[in-house]
Amino acid sequence: MCGIIGYTGHRPAVPVVVEGLKRLEYRGYDSAGIGFVQNQDLHVVRAAGKLVNLEEKLASLDVFLATSAVGHTRWATHGAPTESNAHPHRAGSLCLVHNGIFENYEEYRRLLQSRGHVFSSETETEVLTALVADERKPGLPLLDAFARALRKAHGAYAVALMDQSEPDAIYAARRSAPLLLGIGAGENYVASDIPAFLPYTRNVVFLEDGEIIRITPSSWQIFSLEDLRPLPKSTHHINWDMQSAQKGGFRHFMLKEIFEQPRAIADCMAGRLNAAHTAVVIPELESSPLPPRLRIIACGTSFHAGLWAMPLLEEWARIPTCVEIASEFRYRNPLLMPGETALVISQSGETADTLAALRIARECRCPTLALCNVVGSSITRETDAVIYTQAGPEISVASTKALCSQMLVLLLLALYWGQRRGSLPSGFLPEALQALAALPAQLEAALPALQTEARALAQKYASVAGMFFLGRGQSYPLALEGALKVKELSYIHAEGYAAGEMKHGPIALIEPEFPSFILVPHDSLFTKSRSNLEEVQARGGPVIALTNPPKSDLNLAVPQTWIIPDAWGPLKGFFFLPALQLFSYEAATRLGKDVDQPRNLAKSVTVE
Ligand code: M6R
């Protein structure tokens, strides 16, 4: 997602900030920009595309006198990745860069327009910049005006602000988006991530939600956004090298990405609930009719997302849905009903089979919709509509947070279409939205214990020759995913199966050396899954039962249970999924495998 850096000190600020932006490139972006004050004038230089385009523009300017600057790499959310939508945005003497989504910007856009403000971009960030300018009254320090504007903004943000009349100062704040302070000698930095300033300083202060900061070359002060009272903060010394810094202190990108899932969920929801959080809003679909049928087409982990969502789309939105593997779909003569919508799911947006399937659906004149993580990728350019999963760049070959975000967006889609059709039972939507709002924090709290248990189980089972992952209903695609992860990361043969299918053949494999990870959540299929578990146990197969905390009538008699925190309805899956991901991660690291780049695999499969 977007990257921010602000610098104030004794060096020429523009090169420092551009270099910092390069070190944030891994976050993914599609335009970039920089703001600085030179000769008492505020300059903003922006360019669509890669940083090299921004550098070309800067090369024709004399930019070496500025000693403070803010820079930004933008990953488009509101408005296309064009120069006019790139940050910084200006309002009077101010310029501002922003990471996140200002959810209630429309009401302020209208208000500010009624006061004569003219906007030149499609972004909510420009509205936020204008709102700060609007709050600025004679005699009121900029810190207060900035805080007033931010208190009005719903949503997630990390922001940095400069003012032409105070060229040495940078103001910044965060809520649910990363922001750090880097403390140097006679210079200070704010940035989205440590690598941005790592060559210059290793002294860091981690900013928390609801904090606002003012830095100058020789000072930094952090305040509470609520009442601007100064906050004491401690400084940390970072020992990491650059590569580990990009991994945020995690040993592998995969682990980092697993732990980013609460953030991915929050980012996915941002902008997709109305201001009162009582309805789902999918602006990308507002003008499209309700699909009469859905054909979900995808590969690998993205295929599992589709399978997981199918029952929700059918039950909540009452849309007949089928899910297909793209490489199969493309080589038969698919019969698509008039109006049937092809929904392709792809993290990368470049998977050759999925792209080919999309083209076939278009030839059949089906409306097409893509769920994708990478802005501007091939798939997004060829569909009628795109919904971005907003998970941020996924670097590890094994897909983790991308799946979590796909599941979340599909769940929101099922609610959205159900809401439009009027097929949701009364009281259902508020209950779902309340549970969703609590999900990121609950998952964040659960992850460390899940990792501890995953490590213990990996110690016990990483040496087996093969294992089953079994589940029913929505746990079946999760079982498939658990098995896929074990195969691709640790090269252990793992089979994902629908638990009810075991008796039709695979149960013959059960023996004391062949463990089965069986998903038994407290859902409507609990007793059915418990029976399947007992069938495996009765044949001498070791069982690891992944289940929710036992209740009087929901109990399992198994020696090895893995207790997974409970959640509302299908949200249970968001806890079972990281458990399985962490088990595969721990098994692979235990076996000394190359976790982030498993053998024979590529992140983006652009060949068939
Ligand atoms: O980029 P896509 O979602 O289209 O990729 C599809 C699969 O190649 C991908 O999900 C693959 O199965 C994962 N890397 C597995 O972890």
pLDDT digits (tens, 9 = 90+) for 329-386: 999 989 998 889 999 999 989 898 999 999 999 999 999 999 998 776 789 889 999 9
C-alpha span between 408 and 267 (Å, rounded): 10
Beta carbons of 486 and 494 less than 8 angstroms apart: yes
Domains belonging to the chain, first-starting first, are 3-246 (3.60.20.10), 250-424 (3.40.50.10490), 441-596 (3.40.50.10490)
- HSE (side-chain half, CA atoms, 13 Å) at 397: 16
In the block, residue with structure tokens 């109006």 = 339
pLDDT digits (tens, 9 = 90+) for 496-514: 999 999 999 999 999 999 9
What integer pLDDT is reported at residue 239 of this predicted model?
Answer: 72
Nearest CA to ligand 1 atom 7: 300
User: Residue 20: in which H helix or E strand, if any?
Assistant: helix 13-23
Give the ligand 1 atom nearest the CA of 354. Answer: 4
Nearest CA to ligand 1 atom 4: 346
Q: Is the CB of 373 under 6 A from ligand 1?
A: no
- Span 2-19, mean pLDDT? 95
Q: What is the pTM of this model?
A: 0.75
Helix (H, G, I), strand (E, B) or coil at 284: helix
Q: Is the CB of 389 under 6 A from ligand 1?
A: no
C-alpha span between 272 and 246 (Å, rounded): 29
Nearest CA to ligand 1 atom 16: 398
C-alpha span between 138 and 334 (Å, rounded): 67
Mutate to test the pocket of ligand 1, among 346, 347, 485 (most ligand atoms within 8 A of CB): 347
pLDDT digits (tens, 9 = 90+) for 569-586: 999 999 999 999 999 999
Q: Is the CB of 347 under 6 A from ligand 1?
A: yes
Residue 88 preceded by cis peptide, ω within 30: yes
pLDDT digits (tens, 9 = 90+) for 125-180: 999 999 999 999 999 999 999 999 999 999 878 999 999 999 999 999 998 778 99
Nearest CA to ligand 1 atom 10: 301
**Residues with catalytic roles:** 2, 603
Q: Is the CB of 581 under 6 A from ligand 1?
A: no
Cα dist from 223 to 80, 167, 231, whole Å:
34, 20, 5
C-alpha span between 361 and 183 (Å, rounded): 54
Mutate to test the pocket of ligand 1, among 399, 484, 488, 608 (most ligand atoms within 8 A of CB): 399
In one-letter notation, the amino acid at residue 48 is A
| Centroid of ligand 1 to alpha carbon of 302 (angstroms) | 6
Residue closest to 602 by CA, chosen among 350, 362, 378, 294: 350
pLDDT digits (tens, 9 = 90+) for 57-77: 999 888 888 999 999 999 777
Q: Is the CB of 351 under 6 A from ligand 1?
A: yes
Q: How far is CA 339 from the centre of its chain?
A: 31
Q: How far is CA 3 from the centre of its chain?
A: 14
| Centroid of ligand 1 to alpha carbon of 495 (angstroms) | 18
